[in-house]
């Protein structure tokens, strides 16, 4: 038996307690716990204890682009960001559209052991949007896939989407849709608006997202299936979600940290680090997304961590790939956009970073309360810390962070996965 006592932590930002952990499970919580001489103690005075974070949307580039991220480097970035489970998107090379690839990703994640890496299965073969992948085989594999997505691309054909919803309903799984009507975004480079027009960049209109979200909400309700909307980026999408939820549609949604904080003013720099899909929208969109996250219209935060090689980012805007790093900065951006302005308290942070994503993905041992008998899957946060983002110092191989040089509030001090320390003071433990 190994016992660790985390001393003086504040669960959900509330009163300080000692948390005793034995063999991966929380065995006692209280003030002035009697400490066995065999126990190791960890000083957590002033730190907020939250359930480990769950990211429904991560791009690890293995297999295929191990020059930008591997399951190992991405696991380190995740642990350092306070995450204890991540969902690795299927747009790898080869695509995760079969049991062999998803089992590889799952096994490799378990071997590294820093974070539970759950592979997302592709909806269609090769992400081509034409034929359904073998969803059932992936669901029954060792990886037990329950989240399917063609992310990077939209399942645009309504008949394919309907069939996919029917299958996932039977499998008790969920489709995560990258909502982008491709006919409305041909050649798109930036949010369709004043700035893109002035800069001569082809526009990606909000309606291309909103039209697919509305269609999919209607389809999901018709089928009685669940739908998850990836990276919600517009005020109009929040309105559609509010309407769909009010009429009982089984829909959930995520917002990225960058869509909460950044807006298309960033285009003025012409720096492709700001190129992302969906694009950075307007400041009023970002404000509406913060309100939608606060009131639960948008369920959770997901990073859409998207590492890219420098040659794919340090080039002209139109040639650059879309995507930005997110795992190690997510908590701080949520603190800056939601906690500091008073839109969420720490209970709310636990809800949007851990509890809701765990529920959406159906993970039974993540997003659990900090309580006796529960797994010791815990993230300790220093709410008073300030740190400067340096892409080169992040654990990812790629360095494409839009927050370079920014001083951000709040820092992850330690992460525990089932009682095992996976990150401490900026160092992952493997």
Ligand X SMILES: NC(=O)N[C@@H](CC(=O)O)C(=O)O
- Give me the least distance between CB of 91 and Zn ion, in Å please: 7
- Give me the least distance between CB of 96 and Zn ion, in Å please: 13
Annotated binding-site residue? 59 = yes
Of residues 32, 408, 36, the one with CA closest to residue 21:
36
304 binding Zn ion? (CB under 5 A): yes
Q: Are 250 and 225 in contact (CB under 8 A)?
A: yes
- Give me the least distance between CB of 301 and ligand X, in Å please: 15
Report d(CA 197, CA 202) in Å as an integer.
7
- Give me the least distance between CB of 59 and ligand X, in Å please: 5
92: Cβ–Cβ under 8 A, 6 or more apart, which residues?
60, 61, 62, 63, 64, 65, 101
Q: Nearer Cβ to ligand X, position 20 or 69?
A: 69
Q: Nearer Cβ to ligand X, position 306 or 335?
A: 306
151 binding Zn ion? (CB under 5 A): yes
Annotated binding-site residue? 344 = no
Q: Nearer Cβ to Zn ion, position 103 or 254?
A: 254
Choose from Zn ion, ligand X, none: what does 72 bind? Cβ within 5-8 Å by kind. Answer: none
Choose from ligand X, Zn ion, none: what does 91 bind? Cβ within 5-8 Å by kind. Answer: ligand X
Give the helix/strand (H/E) hosting 344: none
State the residues that interact with ligand X by CB under 6 A.
Answer: 59, 91, 151-152, 178, 276-277, 304, 306, 322-323
178 binding Zn ion? (CB under 5 A): yes
CA torsion sign for 388, 393, 395, 398 is: positive
> Dihedral through CA 379, CA 383, CA 386, CA 388, nearest 10?
30
DSSP string, 239-264: HHHHHHHHTT--EEEEE-HHHHH--G
Q: Nearer Cβ to Zn ion, position 201 or 229?
A: 229
Given 55, 263, 304, 312, the catalytic residue: 304
Residue 271: active-site member: no
DSSP string, 301-324: E---B----GGGTSS-GGGSPP-B
Of residues 2, 51, 6, 1, the one with CA closest to residue 28:
6
Q: Nearer Cβ to ligand X, position 51 or 152?
A: 152
- Give me the least distance between CB of 417 and ligand X, in Å please: 25
Cite the active site residues.
304
Mark the binding-site residues for substrate, compressed into ranges. 59-61, 91, 277, 308, 322-323
Mark the binding-site residues, compressed into ranges. 57, 59-61, 91, 151, 178, 231, 277, 304, 308, 322-323
């Amino acid at each position: 038996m190994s016992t660790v006592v985390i001393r003086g932590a504040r669960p959900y930002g509330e009163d300080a307690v000692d948390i005793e952990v034995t063999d991966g499970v929380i065995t006692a919580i209280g003030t002035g716990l009697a400490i066995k001489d065999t126990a190791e103690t960890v000083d957590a005075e002033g730190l907020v204890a939250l359930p480990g974070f769950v990211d429904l949307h991560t791009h690890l580039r293995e297999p295929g682009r191990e020059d930008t991220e591997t399951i190992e480097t991405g696991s380190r970035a995740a642990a350092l960001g306070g995450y204890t489970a991540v969902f690795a998107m299927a747009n790898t090379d080869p695509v995760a559209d079969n049991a062999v690839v998803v089992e590889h990703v799952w096994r490799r994640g378990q071997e590294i052991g820093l974070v539970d890496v759950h592979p997302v299965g592709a909806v269609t073969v090769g992400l081509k949007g034409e034929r359904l992948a073998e969803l059932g085989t992936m669901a029954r594999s060792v990886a037990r896939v329950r989240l399917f997505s063609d992310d990077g691309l939209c399942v645009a054909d309504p008949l394919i989407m309907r069939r996919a919803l029917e299958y996932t309903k039977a499998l008790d799984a969920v489709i995560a849709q990258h909502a982008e009507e491709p006919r409305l975004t041909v050649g798109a480079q930036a949010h369709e608006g004043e700035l893109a027009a002035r800069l001569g960049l082809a526009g990606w209109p909000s309606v291309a997202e909103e039209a697919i979200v509305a269609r999919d909400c209607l389809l999901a309700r018709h089928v009685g299936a669940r739908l998850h909307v990836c990276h919600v980026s517009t005020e109009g999408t929040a309105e559609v979600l509010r309407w769909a939820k009010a009429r009982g549609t089984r829909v959930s949604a995520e917002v990225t940290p960058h869509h909460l904080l950044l807006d298309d003013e960033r285009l003025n720099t012409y720096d492709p680090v700001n190129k992302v899909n969906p694009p950075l929208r307007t400041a009023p969109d970002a404000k509406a997304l913060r309100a939608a996250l606060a009131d639960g219209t948008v369920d959770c935060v997901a990073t859409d961590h998207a590492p890219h090689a420098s040659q794919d980012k340090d080039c002209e805007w139109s040639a650059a790939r879309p995507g930005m790093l997110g795992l190690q900065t997510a908590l701080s951006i949520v603190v800056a956009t939601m906690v500091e302005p008073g839109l969420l308290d720490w209970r709310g942070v636990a809800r949007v970073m851990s509890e809701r994503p765990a529920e959406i993905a159906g993970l039974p041992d993540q997003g659990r309360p900090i309580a006796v008998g529960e797994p010791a899957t815990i993230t300790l946060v220093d709410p008073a810390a300030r740190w400067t983002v340096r892409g080169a110092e992040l654990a990812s191989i790629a360095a494409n962070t839009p927050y370079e040089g920014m001083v951000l509030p709040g820092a992850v001090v330690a992460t525990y996965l089932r009682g095992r320390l996976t990150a401490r003071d900026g160092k992952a433990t493997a």
